[in-house]
């Protein structure tokens, strides 16, 4: 969702802030703005629409201040417009604030401030924040920087909801205060300068050294130091962490779009996710994970909990946990899991998947499971993200920054990491070699090369996309793990092409969905398990007889029985086939979107990190 950038140092802040906002565009937004301190006053520049629209504002080229904050907004309270965009200032134009999150009790706070004589220029929840800071600092007899900090603290204590906040003031022209609760915020350290952002890739080109904030940690920044405080404003010490991501990986490297680049990065991201965890003729090893046989034997259930694409990764690997660990495994949507009072106890392992590590519903589900005594394990792509700090254990995909809103390389890296986890647990439980497990392990090592084979043969998919891109409805079919891939393929098509699509377990076709099949409708099917191939082919024949166009993604040697397009992928173990069969579907969605002339990387109404419920 919304993006935050901040800078305090010795350079001009404006170009740094705008550069950071441009790198956050993938998060989704409807307006943008910056605020800097200029010769004793706080400047404010904001506009509806794209970040580049800021350059249309009169006077922006004259900003010379070396302290500033910036924001890309995704409307929650109030329509997208200049007045509702961030930053927001108090009535005296003394304090300027940007904010990610939602203030749930803003109506009550607004009523309180109105009675105290404050007025409001926008419809947003955020505007209460600078006015509350102004109110509380006027109640403080001291006016030093600690008074500034106390005013921000009292404001945060008054708010209910989630927030990541940056505050600057003309009263304190050499300082900035930042704080977070349930919304991501990190601080990058340079030489006599600090960079603040909601997402690490936005400032990777400036620094690799970061402070990762926990909830209710306050930071008082000057050019020379960052002072950290806890919720009670007691000083604390924070560890500086080095992030190994390559800043160039956030650039397009010659590809037309980030999404296409990230599709082609999948062999690399899978190799790096496997890393040293899997070596030939050795047991799988996770450096920071040690689950004992006694603990795993005690488990009655595994929950895999996630949202969207990450949830599909759970569905695609559920069978591995059940087959080889012999533990009942349930995959659930995080937002639903929280509200149905799930049966969890100390005999439950809850696995949470979040690419960003900041998905609000998933983080809340972690807290719920911990409160009931279950062990929690986070799967994330971002070191030090909120979910990894909440969970008892964490393991990482190594996909690098994923900029396109529609996830591709993070998804396949999640599939591979969860497969490794399932096999690791199976080896701990069984203690003896299992020939099928050894076979899957060898096949895992071959997946990157097999994806490279697929990516050498993209033209047939592009050609098929040109034939179907004008359609308004499509259907995806599969059985077993192929159904999980059908769900992901359907989601990708919806996300970036805006074509209505549905995914069904192929055996369910006759139980209602076949009524939707009519002449000319496209049906896309996955066939990767030889034991289920004949049954799925029978289902495809049923839609062909009703006039459907068909695309089949398969690793089987199929006789063409009237299919319009067969795309053959390399063979692998059936339980690993989702890693390969999804790639043609990613490409199909991409090429359809390009044929329609759409913005592939920034689809409408969507955001990369969903940090509010």
Give me the DSSP letters along 304-361. Answer: EEE-HHHHHHHHHHHHHHHHHH---EEEEEHHHHTTS-----TTEEEEEEESSS--HH
pLDDT tens-place string over residues 216-256? 999 999 999 999 999 999 999 999 988 776 655 556 767 89
Q: Evaluate if residue 29 carries a pLDDT over 70.
A: no
**What local confidence, expressed as pLDDT, does residue 103 receive?**
87
**What local confidence, expressed as pLDDT, does residue 611 receive?**
45
Confidence of residue 85 (pLDDT cuts 50, 70, 90): confident
**What local confidence, expressed as pLDDT, does residue 118 receive?**
96
**What local confidence, expressed as pLDDT, does residue 522 receive?**
92
Mean pLDDT of 421-430: 94
**What local confidence, expressed as pLDDT, does residue 156 receive?**
96
528: nearest Cα among 453, 586, 461, 579: 579
The segment with the largest mean pLDDT, out of 338-352, 487-501, 560-574, is 487-501
Contact 544, 550 (CB under 8 A): yes
d(CA 354, CA 608): 11
Q: Give the percent of the chain with pLDDT over 70.
A: 95
Give Dmax (Cα) for the chain.
84
Mean pLDDT of 76-103: 84
Q: Evaluate if residue 138 carries a pLDDT over 90.
A: yes
Contact 521, 473 (CB under 8 A): yes
Q: How many CB atoms lie within 10 A of CB 500?
A: 13
**What local confidence, expressed as pLDDT, does residue 300 receive?**
96
**127 contact partners, CB below 8 Å, separation of at least 6:** 88, 120, 121
**What local confidence, expressed as pLDDT, does residue 362 receive?**
87
d(CA 576, CA 317): 8
Mean pLDDT of 554-560: 86
Which sequence positions are flagged as catalytic?
2, 608
Strands, E assignment, 348-408:
348-354, 375-380, 393-396
Mean pLDDT of 154-171: 94
380: nearest Cα among 417, 426, 407: 417
Mean pLDDT of 566-579: 96
- Residues of 393-424 as b/e, b for ≥16 C-beta within 10 angstroms? bbbbbbbbbbbbbbbbbbbbbbbbbbbbbbbb
Confidence of residue 346 (pLDDT cuts 50, 70, 90): very high
d(CA 207, CA 195): 8
pLDDT tens-place string over residues 287-298? 878 899 999 999
pLDDT tens-place string over residues 180-195? 987 778 999 999 999 9
Strand order in the sheet with 329-333: 329-333, 301-306, 348-354, 375-380, 393-396
**What local confidence, expressed as pLDDT, does residue 612 receive?**
45
Q: Evaluate if residue 608 carries a pLDDT over 80.
A: no
More confident residue, 340 or 442: 442
**What local confidence, expressed as pLDDT, does residue 246 receive?**
60
The domains of the chain, with CATH numbers, are 3-243 (3.60.20.10), 252-454 (3.40.50.10490), 459-595 (3.40.50.10490)
Q: Evaluate if residue 488 carries a pLDDT over 70.
A: yes
Q: Evaluate if residue 449 carries a pLDDT over 90.
A: yes
SS3 state of residue 180: strand
More confident residue, 84 or 88: 88
Handedness of CA 271, 275, 281, 283 (dihedral sign): negative
pLDDT tens-place string over residues 461-476? 999 999 999 999 999 9
The segment with the largest mean pLDDT, out of 40-49, 80-89, 576-585, is 576-585
86: nearest Cα among 130, 31, 131: 31
* Dihedral pair phi/psi, residue 210, rounded to 5°: -135, 145
d(CA 80, CA 29): 9
184: nearest Cα among 400, 406, 446, 2: 2
**What local confidence, expressed as pLDDT, does residue 65 receive?**
93
Mean pLDDT of 294-321: 95
Report the 3 state secondary structure along 550-594: EEEEECCCCCCCCCCEEEECCCCCHHHHHHHHHHHHHHHHHHHHH
Mean pLDDT of 408-414: 96
- Residue 510 is classified by DSSP as G
Q: Evaluate if residue 414 carries a pLDDT over 60.
A: yes
**What local confidence, expressed as pLDDT, does residue 229 receive?**
97
d(CA 322, CA 320): 6
SS3 state of residue 192: coil
More confident residue, 317 or 602: 317
**What local confidence, expressed as pLDDT, does residue 432 receive?**
61
Q: Evaluate if residue 166 carries a pLDDT over 70.
A: yes
* Average confidence score pLDDT of the chain: 89
């Amino acid at each position: 969702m919304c993006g935050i950038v901040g800078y305090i140092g010795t350079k001009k802040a404006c170009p740094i802030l705008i550069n950071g906002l441009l790198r956050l565009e993938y998060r989704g937004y409807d307006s943008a703005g910056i605020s800097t301190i200029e010769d004793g006053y706080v400047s404010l520049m904001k506009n509806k629409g794209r970040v580049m629209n800021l350059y249309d504002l009169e006077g922006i080229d004259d900003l010379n201040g070396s302290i500033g904050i910036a924001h890309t907004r995704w409307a929650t309270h109030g329509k997208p417009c200049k007045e509702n965009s961030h930053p927001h200032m108090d009535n005296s134009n003394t304090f300027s604030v940007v904010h990610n999150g939602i203030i749930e009790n803003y109506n009550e706070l607004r009523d309180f401030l109105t009675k105290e004589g404050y007025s409001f220029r926008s419809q947003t929840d955020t505007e209460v924040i600078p006015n509350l800071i102004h109110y509380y600092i006027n109640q403080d007899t001291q006016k030093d920087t600690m008074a500034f900090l106390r005013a921000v603290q009292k404001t945060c204590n008054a708010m209910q909801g989630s927030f990541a906040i940056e505050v600057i003031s003309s009263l304190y022209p050499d300082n900035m205060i930042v704080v977070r609760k349930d919304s991501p915020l990190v601080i990058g350290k340079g030489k006599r300068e600090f960079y603040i952002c909601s997402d690490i890739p936005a400032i990777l080109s400036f620094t690799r050294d970061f402070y990762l904030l926990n909830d209710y940690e306050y930071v008082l920044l000057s050019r020379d130091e960052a002072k950290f405080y806890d919720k009670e404003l007691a000083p604390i010490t924070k560890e500086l962490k080095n992030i190994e991501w390559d800043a160039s990986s956030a650039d397009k490297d010659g590809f037309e779009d980030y999404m296409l680049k990230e599709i082609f990065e999948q062999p690399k991201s899978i190799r790096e996710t496997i890393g040293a965890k899997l070596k030939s003729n050795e047991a799988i090893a996770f450096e920071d994970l040690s689950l004992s046989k006694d603990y795993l034997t005690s488990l009655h259930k595994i929950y895999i909990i996630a949202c969207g694409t990450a949830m599909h990764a759970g569905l695609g690997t559920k069978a591995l946990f059940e087959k080889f660990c012999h533990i009942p495994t349930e995959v659930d949507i995080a937002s639903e899991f929280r509200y149905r009072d799930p049966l969890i106890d100390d005999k439950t392992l809850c696995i949470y998947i979040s690419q960003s590590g900041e998905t609000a519903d998933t983080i809340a589900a972690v807290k719920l499971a911990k409160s009931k005594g279950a062990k929690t394990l986070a799967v994330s792509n971002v070191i030090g993200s909120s979910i990894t700090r909440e969970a008892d254990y964490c393991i990482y995909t190594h996909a690098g920054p994923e900029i396109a809103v529609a996830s591709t390389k993070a998804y396949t890296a999640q599939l591979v990491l969860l497969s490794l986890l399932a096999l690791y647990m199976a080896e701990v439980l069984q203690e003896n070699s299992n020939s099928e497990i050894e076979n899957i392990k060898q096949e895992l090592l071959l997946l990157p090369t097999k994806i490279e084979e697929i990516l050498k043969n993209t033209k047939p998919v592009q050609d098929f996309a040109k034939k179907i891109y004008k359609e308004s409805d499509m259907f995806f079919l599969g059985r077993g793990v192929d159904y999980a891939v059908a769900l992901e393929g359907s989601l990708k098509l919806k996300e970036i092409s805006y074509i209505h699509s549905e995914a069904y377990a192929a055996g369910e076709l006759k139980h209602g969905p076949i009524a939707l099949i009519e002449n000319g409708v496209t049906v896309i099917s996955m066939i990767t398990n030889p034991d289920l191939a004949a049954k799925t082919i029978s289902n495809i024949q049923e839609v062909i007889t009703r006039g459907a166009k068909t695309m089949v993604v398969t690793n089987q040697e199929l006789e063409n029985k009237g299919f319009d397009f067969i795309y053959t992928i390399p063979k692998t173990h059936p339980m690993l086939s989702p890693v390969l069969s999804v790639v043609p579907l990613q490409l199909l969605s991409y090429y359809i979107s390009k044929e329609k002339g759409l913005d592939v990387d920034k689809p409408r109404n969507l955001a990369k990190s969903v940090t509010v419920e």
